Copies of this chain bind each other. A is one copy, B any other.
Amino acid sequence: MYETLTQLRVRYAETDQMNVVYYGNYAQYFEVGRVESIRNLGISYKDIEEAGVIMPVVEMHVRYLRSARYDDLLTIKTTLRELPEDHRIEFFQEVYNESEKLLTSGRVVLYFLDAATQQKTPMPQNLREKLQPFFPAK
């Protein structure tokens, strides 16, 4: 398992007139969580794109349990439960507030695609090598 925590603060722009974070904005929070999770391995998602691989989201599932509010300092927990075997990677993501209450939980599936051909491609080798130690052989 590979798990990271990232923090961000809710912006005024992200609230709506229900006085909470607009439900669509969690996609951005999840994105920040995934990007920082990869950076924590010593690779940036930007590097991956520059090496010719893009990672479009193909599936997103979100459960909204409690609201996030303006100026809340949120913690995004991003978890890989399995080492990707092929072109598919699945992140489990949770958002907590400062009282450590779980606000939102999600699951996001992305594909690795060759940017030039738009065809599925396996996870880049440098990313695999960095992730391998977190998934010891059973």
Contact = CB atoms under 8 A, between A and B. Distances in A.
Size bin of chain A's contact surface: 35 or more
A27 B23 contact: yes
Given A57-B64, A64-B57, A12 B27 contact: no
Interface in A1-54: 11-13, 15-20, 22-28, 31-32, 35, 44-46, 54
Contact of A56 (B31, B54, B63, B64): B64
Q: Chain A binding site: helix, strand, loop or mixed by DSSP?
A: mixed
A29 to B, nearest CB: 9
A58 interface: yes
Given A13-B24, A20-B56, 20 more contacts: A11-B35, A12-B17, A12-B22, A12-B45, A13-B31, A15-B16, A16-B16, A22-B27, A23-B57, A24-B24, A24-B31, A44-B71, A45-B71, A46-B70, A57-B64, A58-B64, A59-B62, A60-B60, A60-B64, A61-B62
26 contacts: A11-B35, A12-B22, A12-B45, A13-B27, A13-B31, A17-B19, A18-B54, A18-B56, A20-B56, A22-B27, A23-B27, A23-B57, A24-B28, A45-B71, A46-B70, A46-B71, A56-B67, A57-B64, A58-B63, A58-B65, A59-B64, A60-B60, A60-B61, A60-B62, A61-B61, A61-B62
